[in-house]
Amino acid sequence: MKMYEQLYLLGMKHYYDNVNQAYLCMEQSLFLCDDAEDKPEIAKLRDELKSRPGFCVRPVSAVVVSYNDLEWMQVCLQSFRDTMPEGTWEMIAVDNQSSDGADEWLEKQPDVRLIRNPGNMGFSIGCNVGFSVADPGNDILLINNDAVLTPNALFFLRMALYESRDVGAVGAVSNYASEQNADEEELPWNSTLEETVSFSKKTNIPMSHPYEARSRLTGFAVLIARECCDQVAKAGYLLDPLFSPAYFEDDDLGIRIALAGYRQLLVHNALIYHKGGTPNQQIGAKSREKFVNKWGFDIWKYTGVMQEYEQAVKDFLAERGNKVSDDRLDGSLRVLEIDCGMGVNLAHLQYLYPDMTVIGIEREPIISAIASRLIRVLCGTPEEVLANVGSPDTEESYILKSHTFDLIFAWDACSRSQDPDAMRAALRGLLKPEGRLIEIE
């Protein structure tokens, strides 16, 4: 079956449950369609969907900060032309005084709006300049000039953005993106553009569960809903210029998106090539310090996904004789994490095993608030939360019922508590008879 036929069928699946996703499917199906007889029917359905209640699909303003790298800027722009229907996007290139002729070339492109900055003002300020002139009715795609769309990548990003009204931003997987790499064995970080495009044929396809909740998204390619942009930009900027020239502006944006009440999704069926480069350690260290000073915590302690969680689930299932096929759970588990941080590990488990129920306990209010956009979380110290279990009319008693959990990740929470034995006893009281309490040995 051809891709346009798959997208047509996917659009029909969403015809009544999500008008915006149905429209996007018909729009992309029509763009890919190579059968003259099918085009009128697809176009008719697409146009009908525009008049349906709830329709709000917006075009995309792609904001690219250009600084040299003319060759990759050319490939980046061409990837939009090749993979997206005309009229669904605009490109705003903000040139930071390139010296390789990139600005002269961009000025000649009829589908690019070029803004020349008076000097190299850095990534954050450049993006803000582009955002300020974007069509106010458009969603915003921040994309590096050395990033290249593979076929259907931006389409699936847009599908994720319109999954529900509370999705504020979505990001792509890549060959080279911090915490967002695709399968590193099949697609190493130094893969070529050709290898990445070839790999995208296996990834950029309709999937049952392609979305993984995240607390922040890497800024090489992030698509942000217009309403979300308008909310976070009330601070006077989209990206905080504090982090100019580079680094941690995407982490800061992720925090502000979460605190504004929006969810962020990593989209596993949207693969975008990223050439990347060698990070500037000195500038990175300064920006990291700026982030800590602004928010009061080090985000690097909270955003990494630990493989130990996935392995613990697989080991537990294997011992029970459960069947695991294609990393998807045959059955369901209830999992609790003590000191869950921003919830990224539990969210990753829920992506891998959609039937799993995950619950976290987090003591820091701001971290708990961010985690609540990913998972169900109870705010308080483990001692405070567990003390309320069994009390009438408490959230803890409703969520943390005795003998209902299969796995509890406590790591060093018990050993750090004032009464480790009492903490262990309380947690074991939440486990099923065959359940397991996992601590650091």
Span 417-425, mean pLDDT? 95
Q: How confident is the model at residue 185 (pLDDT cuts 50, 70, 90)?
A: confident
pLDDT tens per residue across span 246-266: 999 999 999 999 999 999 999
pLDDT tens per residue across span 226-246: 999 999 999 999 999 999 999
* Rg, the chain, Cα only: 23
Query: How buried is 51 (Cβ within 10 angstroms: 0-12 exposed, 13-18 middle, 19+ buried)?
Result: exposed
The upper half-sphere exposure of residue 165, i.e. CA atoms within 13 Å in the direction of its Cβ, equals: 3
Domains 60-296 and 307-439 share a fold: no
CATH superfamily entry for domain 307-439: Vaccinia Virus protein VP39 (3.40.50.150)
- % the chain with pLDDT above 70: 98
Top mean-pLDDT range of 132-146, 310-324, 392-406:
132-146
**This prediction's pTM:** 0.95
pLDDT tens per residue across span 345-382: 999 999 999 999 999 999 999 999 999 999 999 999 99
Crossing angle of helices 249-259 and 281-295, in 10° steps, is 20
- Whether residue 141 has pLDDT greater than 80: yes
Domain-wise residue ranges, the chain: 3-49, 60-296, 307-439
Q: How confident is the model at residue 184 (pLDDT cuts 50, 70, 90)?
A: confident
Q: Which residue, among 82, 127, 112, 145, has the nearest Cα to 274 in the 3D structure?
A: 145
CATH superfamily entry for domain 60-296: Spore Coat Polysaccharide Biosynthesis Protein SpsA; Chain A (3.90.550.10)
pLDDT at 323: 57
pLDDT at 266: 98
Q: How confident is the model at residue 394 (pLDDT cuts 50, 70, 90)?
A: confident
pLDDT at 441: 64
Mean pLDDT of the chain: 95
